[in-house]
Amino acid sequence: MRSSTFLSLATSFSAVSATVYKGFNYGNTFTDGSAKTQADFEAEFHAAKNLVGTSGGFTSARLYTMIQGGTTSDPITAIPAAIAEETSLLLGIWVSGGQTSVTNEITALTAAIKQYGDSFTKLVVGLSVGSEDLYRNSVTGIENDSGVGASPDEVVKYIGQVKTALAGTSLSGVSIGHVDTWNPWTNTSNSAVIDAVDWLGVDEYPYFQNTESNSIDDAYALFWAAYDKVTAVAGGKPIWITETGWPVSGNTENLAIANVANAKTFWDQVGCASAFDKVNTWWYVLQDAAPTTPTPSFGILGSSTSDSTMGTSPLYDLSCANVTVSSSVSSSATATGSASSASSASASIAKAGTASTTSSGAGTVSTGLSTATKSSTSSSSSASATTTASSGGSALVANFFVASAMFALAALF
């Protein structure tokens, strides 16, 4: 029974997509607010592809905005950089800045299609309309000053505008999604967004689940439990991992300690042993410490912005060699649950290889507990769309704290 379930899930999964993308998130500014240039993006994409130990696998880039830093509506120079570095793109449209900024985003997107043509559009994996807007719009997000968000109605409206703008272009068939933390996806008030998208993006950070037992030993189980919660509401639509990672430095969050050793363990268990090459994954983050180091810092590279040194100086071994998930962890994550439905295909596939780096062993899983939240951007609510988007994901602020507690309470009542 188990293997037949696996086979049917595997079949439906492979029918969805043959290529599984793997890469990093890229904001459009450095930590001092200065805009990244095309050369800066090229250096980053080049470093990602040349990371020691990774066999050139990290060839995809998720962006938060279509707009070049420091401009109103010029196309982001990550596009020509991606063309030069043959890096695929998960595009992002920032939608928490209101209609004017969304219009500017769409202007930049359509200008890029005209300017770069097929050399650009053939690299596009998908397009996210929004990033954590529903989290910032939630009770917890508002209480914690996470910044301006967007309502589900607004997100759906902007998705419609993007589709209208892309009609008749070579991106008219692009796969459109929305990225958020996992909790808003399970809030039924947001279900219109699920109905409107082709795929759901989840940002998941067990490190920030500080109202739960979130030591690195529990991180793998917390991660997949949250993923499964989204699977349960996704109606069979694919769930892409748009952000995850563990900080190399920063404050302790309950039992979660930010250090290089734990970042490596998280990379090994969540990345190597379960997500990479099974679910589209954009890790957080290649580099977030240039020129200054944020707290916490997730970057797997140091603060160098030099192409010659970035790719050769990961802070820990990325090779996935000798990766194992401890039996206590993997058994809780793979044996306690039953596959909720065929819609858990990607989760099940993702967790199929828990015991070795890329094994394709069978296993269907679904555990259900916990919450995942993280802060959104660090930008103040008054930031313009461009500046807000620029720091998207590049400077996390500890705004998450009570989110999971709130959710637990909401569940009780």
Ligand X SMILES: *[C@@H]1O[C@H](CO)[C@@H](O)[C@H](O)[C@H]1NC(C)=O
Comparison of 402 and 408: residue with beta carbon closer to ligand X? 402
Name the 3-class secondary structure at 75: strand
Contact flag: residue 189 with ligand X (CB under 6 A): yes
Instruction: Quote the least distance from Cβ 151 to ligand X, whole Å.
Output: 6
| Minimum distance, C-beta of residue 128 to ligand X, in the bound complex (Å) | 17
Q: Is 192 in the site for ligand X (CB under 6 A)?
A: no
Which of 226/347 has CB closer to ligand X?
Answer: 226
Minimum Å distance from CB 28 to ligand X?
26
**341-353 burial string, b = 16+ CB within 10 Å, else e?**
eebbbbbbbbbbb
The active-site residue, picked from 154, 204, 243, 253, is: 243
The only residue of 60, 68, 146, 190 in contact with ligand X, by rule CB under 6 A = 190
Lookup: tokens for 293: 């180091």
- Nearer to ligand X by Cβ, of 73 and 378: the residue is 378
The answer for 359, left when phi > 0, alpha when psi is -120 to 50, beta otherwise, is beta
Three-class DSSP category at 413: coil
* Residue 410 binds to ligand X (criterion: CB under 6 A): yes
| Best CA proximity match to 273, nearest among 312, 224, 228, 240 | 224
Task: State the Cα torsion 388-390-393-397 to the nearest 10°.
Answer: -50
Rounded CA-CA distance 70/195 in Å is 34
In order of 233, 241, 347, the CA distances from 9 in angstroms are 17, 18, 10
The answer to whether 243 is a known catalytic residue is yes
**Rounded to an integer, what is the distance from CA 1 to the centroid of its chain?**
33
What does the angle CA 92 – CA 93 – CA 98 come to, to the nearest 5 degrees?
Answer: 155
147 binds ligand X (CB under 6 A): no
Catalytic residue (choose from 132, 154, 204, 212) = 132
The binder of ligand X chosen from 87, 138, 390, 391 (CB under 6 A): 138
Query: Within 293-332, which residues bind ligand X (CB under 6 A)?
Result: 317, 319, 321-322
Point out which span in 108-116, 160-168, 187-195, 366-374 binds ligand X (CB under 6 A).
187-195
Q: Does 152 bind ligand X (CB under 6 A)?
A: yes
Measured distance CA(131)–CA(187) in Å, rounded: 16
For ligand X, which is the closer residue by CB, 187 or 344? 187
* Contact between 156 and ligand X per CB under 6 A: no
Which residues of the chain form contacts with ligand X (CB under 6 A)?
Answer: 134, 137-140, 143-144, 151-152, 187, 189-190, 317, 319, 321-322, 401-402, 410
Catalytically annotated residues: 132, 243
